[in-house]
Amino acid sequence: MEKKQKTYIEDIDRGIYDIKNEVRYSYKAEKGLTPEIIKEMSKEKNEPQWMTEFRLHSLEVYHSLDLPPWGPDISEVDMENIITYIRPDTNLNTSWKDVPEDIKETFDRLGIPKAEREALAGVGAQYDSEVVYHSIKQELVDQGVIYTDMETAIHEYEAIVKEYFMKAVPPKDHKFAALHGAVWSGGSFVYVPQGIRVEIPLQSYFRLNAPGAGQFEHTLIVVEKGASLHFIEGCSAPMHSVINLHAGCVELFVKEDATLRYSTIENWSRNMYNLNTKRAIVDKNATIEWVSGSFGSKVSMLYPMSILKGEGARAEFTGITFAAQGQTLDTGTKVIHAAPYTSSNINSKSISKGGGVAVYRGVVKIAENAHHSKSTVTCESLMLDNASKSDTIPVIDIRNDEVDLGHEAKIGRISEEAIFYLMSRGISEEEAKAMIVRGFVEPITKELPLEYAVELNNLINLELEGTIG
């Protein structure tokens, strides 16, 4: 039989995601981490005294903590060589016309202004360390909804920021949370008042353009009693030869009877260490829904956590991870059931190919008092070749007897028989694989807003292109 040609490619052409702009800035911090750099940055940002002190305290915590003893190797991250703060040469704009042309073009290519016109109630666009564009529909403003960048929020809504800032994720939580506390900049602030249901999603997009830089945006969302919100977060960066670091922090406060859906597609370049911390505090009968897509980065450690604090609180987690050559994506979710009648439903899927490593790492903890709680965990992994790796590390810690728990984990390689079956109907090998992968992630795609579902499918096609064999 004819020998089949196999083609291997080093890295995919990530198209629009890889277009780099010239680096221009109005302020750039020195590389590295010292109290002087932190003070200088806080001063440059004109922050209140308490924030400067918070940063300096976080820096001390950072130096006192070790790297986590578990998980992927991140020893390559050298903070002495990361630029922690780089302010683009533009202020916050409320019209795309005022955004510098190359930055605007970048967001155009990513489809942000178009999505804003068609499907969103508000948009924030961050470029390197600061938000360069923000908008919100007037009707939401009239209802008291606040959606702005964190830098504005700390001045205009100082009391709310001070009440919640790094209360869900304290700096001592882990080394990169402390780092975040010290050098954070940019990010979005959302406040939805009691009873207001925001029907159309808000979206923030984070783009890191500069090489050797870190992005440390802080997203703080408070959804008051009986209110609801869908927030979408997108992230990307072009490929550079030096390491970039993303250590953002997301803090979500979902009050009684409120609902928050937090959707993310992270498509970082393959030189990125993505060490992001996300956490939701969920009150009585409230719901947090995470939809999380992790694609790019060299290493990701991402485990959004839900703390079900009030009776009847619910958490849903739907995650998809795609690890290709040279990538280690260590992702999952944590749920702490800290009250009775709480429930969680975790559905995670991962794909690895070309020697990529995809690990599901998760924790479900049901506390002594959380009787009549329910949790279902389903993890599925698909490996597209023999070089790729996949693992599931689910930790389940139950401290009382009256719980209902289901757990299912499946790890498998892409079925040769299924590929043959589809090929026997005229479908090419490449398309057959893409079909199987798209089908595998379909339960996730349908949870995503349409344009992100399309993006996810494009990413899958991009990842699979030219990889016969």
Partner 1 sequence: MSKKLLEIQNLKSSIEHTEILKGINLSINQGEIHVIMGPNGAGKSTLANVLMSHPKHEITEGNILFEGESINGFSADEKAKIGVFLSFQYPEEVAGITVENFLRAAKSAVTGEPVKFLPFKKALREQMKLLKIDETYGSRYLNVGFSGGEKKKNEILQMAVLEPKLAVLDETDSGLDVDAIKVVAEGVNTLANENNAILIITHHKKLLDYIKPNYVHVLLDGKIVKTSDGSLADEIESKGYEWLSNQGGV
Specify the residue, 97 or 425, whose C-beta has the smaller distance to partner 1.
Answer: 425
Cβ 425 to partner 1, closest distance in Å? 4
Q: How far is the CB of 441 from partner 1 (least distance, A)?
A: 7
Provide the residue type at 320 as one letter: I
Both tokens of 289, joined, read 């829904």
Decide whether 262 or 452 has the Cβ nearer to partner 1: 452
Nearer to partner 1, 442 or 465 (CB): 442
Task: Give the nearest distance from C-beta 467 to partner 1 in angstroms.
Answer: 16
Q: Is 263 left (phi over 0), alpha (psi -120 to 50) or beta?
A: beta
Between 154 and 434, whose beta carbon lies closer to partner 1?
A: 434
Look-up of token digits 């959606």: 147
What is the DSSP code (8-state) at residue 32? S
Q: Compute the half-sphere exposure of residue 198: CA atoms within 13 Å on the CB side of its CA.
A: 37
- Asked if 282 and 310 count as a contact pair (C-beta separation under 8 A), the reply is yes
For partner 1, the binding residues (CB under 8 A) are 1-2, 4, 415-418, 420-429, 431-432, 435-436, 438-443
Distances (CA, A) of 331 to 10, 14, 74, 286, 342: 24, 22, 15, 24, 23
Whose Cβ is closer to partner 1: residue 239's or residue 422's?
422
DSSP string, 199-244: -S-EEEEEE--STTBEE--EEEEEE-TT-EEEEEEEEE----SS-E
| Adjacent-strand bridge partners of 200 | none
Nearer to partner 1, 306 or 445 (CB): 445
Give the phi and the psi of residue 399 in degrees, each rounded to 5.
-110, 10
The residue (of 108 and 429) whose beta carbon lies closer to partner 1 is 429
Nearer to partner 1 among residue 8 and residue 420 (C-beta): 420
- Dist. CA 89–CA 304, nearest whole Å: 33
Residue among 200, 164, 409 at smallest CA distance from 279: 164
- Residue 363 burial (C-beta neighbours within 10 Å; 0-12, 13-18, 19+): middle
Q: CA dist 286 to 199, 281, 344, Å? A: 17, 10, 12
Cβ 1 to partner 1 shortest distance, Å: 5
The letter for the amino acid at 24 is R
Closest to partner 1 by CB, 395 vs 454, is 454
The alpha helices in 110-210, defined as continuous H runs, are 112-119, 138-142, 150-156, 158-164, 175-183
